[in-house]
Amino acid sequence: HLRTVLPSLLRRLSLTFEAFSLRSQGQKPEVRPRILTLNRSTCNAGSHGTKYESQTNTGARALDEHAACLYIESWPLHTLTVSHPPLSRNFTKMLRSTGRLLLLALAASHLLLTAAGAGCEPSGTLRPTQSHACQDCCKAGQAYPTYRCSPPVSSSTRAVMTLNDFDAGGDGGDPSECDGAFHRSSERVAALSTGWYSGGSRCGKSIRIRANGRSVLAKVVDECDTVNGCDREHAFQPPCRNNVVDASQAVWDALGITGEEVGEYNVTWSDA
């Protein structure tokens, strides 16, 4: 998938730099029929959204379209009037060289983001052989995806917040992994998907969860296991998704989320 998207990203940036370089010399960019199949009205209609997160052929085509639109939009409808002498050839060469260096830097950052977990895909499936009675428990024969990664963490990481009972006999199963203890519903605690749990490196630390126009600090006490599940240790529930913040009732209350909205809610979080 990376081999499909990365060349499109590079083509998009290359076209942009070439257009600006030619514009600095007062020259009109040559038309490229192979790529420039869009017209200005199509571009103005906003049909060329940037889709960095897509790693499919469709996403690659979207990047190509966006590159073409940037190329068109960098040149005005009317003849360019140059109010100053064209820039020197040396300066233009320097501009193009800088552009190439920036392309390499952006390509490297794209690869690093991918390695860090962007576009994290299932690592396998878990197919239990036995069903259990509870509503959310695993069903025999059903395939549940497993993950060994999570999306990269930022200052505003998108996640799905779920409700968990960390107390004895609750749906959290065994005691919390970080401290080997159970936690009351009145405590502001949370579990993170395996990739975000990061081998326990966030154990005992606070994260800030934002939703519903509010924010709250919650202490990480457990892992929301994205690899294992459907056993007693995990209360016979399927593996977690890779983008879950599993929070106690106290966290939901602090965010002012009540009633039918409790259960799953889109949030953002960051390290505190």
Residue 160: which CATH number? 2.40.40.10
Give me the pLDDT at residue 125, please.
96
- pTM value is 0.58
Mean pLDDT of 155-159: 97
Q: Is the pLDDT of residue 60 over 90?
A: no
Task: Say if CB 171 and CB 250 are below 8 A apart.
Answer: no
Residue 18 and residue 84 in one domain: yes
Domain boundary residue among 87, 116, 145? 116
Give me the pLDDT at residue 136, please.
86
Mean pLDDT of 246-251: 97
What's the pLDDT band for 55 if we cut at 50, 70, 90?
very low
* Helix (H/G/I), strand (E/B), else coil: 117: coil
Q: Is the pLDDT of residue 50 over 60?
A: no
Mean pLDDT of 245-263: 96
Residue 91 and residue 224 in one domain: no
Residue 161 and residue 267 in one domain: yes
Closest to 193 measured CA to CA, from 248, 138, 149, 136: 149
Give me the pLDDT at residue 247, please.
97
Residue 192 and residue 134 in one domain: yes
Q: What total number of domains does the chain contain?
A: 2
Q: Which domain holds residue 222?
A: 128-271
Among 23-37, 110-124, 156-170, 253-267, the least confident range: 23-37
> Cα–chain-centroid distance for residue 151?
5
What's the pLDDT band for 99 if we cut at 50, 70, 90?
low
Residue 98 and residue 161 in one domain: no
Looking at the domain assignment, is residue 101 inside a domain? yes
Residue 134 and residue 167 in one domain: yes
Residue 169 and residue 236 in one domain: yes
Residue 103 and residue 235 in one domain: no
Mean pLDDT of 90-104: 58
Mean pLDDT of 61-72: 49
Residue 207 and residue 112 in one domain: no
- Region label for 180, one of left (φ > 0), alpha (ψ between -120 and 50) or beta (otherwise): left
Mean pLDDT of 159-188: 91
Q: To 10 degrees, what angle do helices 2-24 and 57-73 make?
A: 0
Give me the pLDDT at residue 82, please.
39
How high is the mean pLDDT of the chain? 75
Q: Is the pLDDT of residue 183 over 70?
A: yes
Domain boundary residue among 116, 151, 170? 116
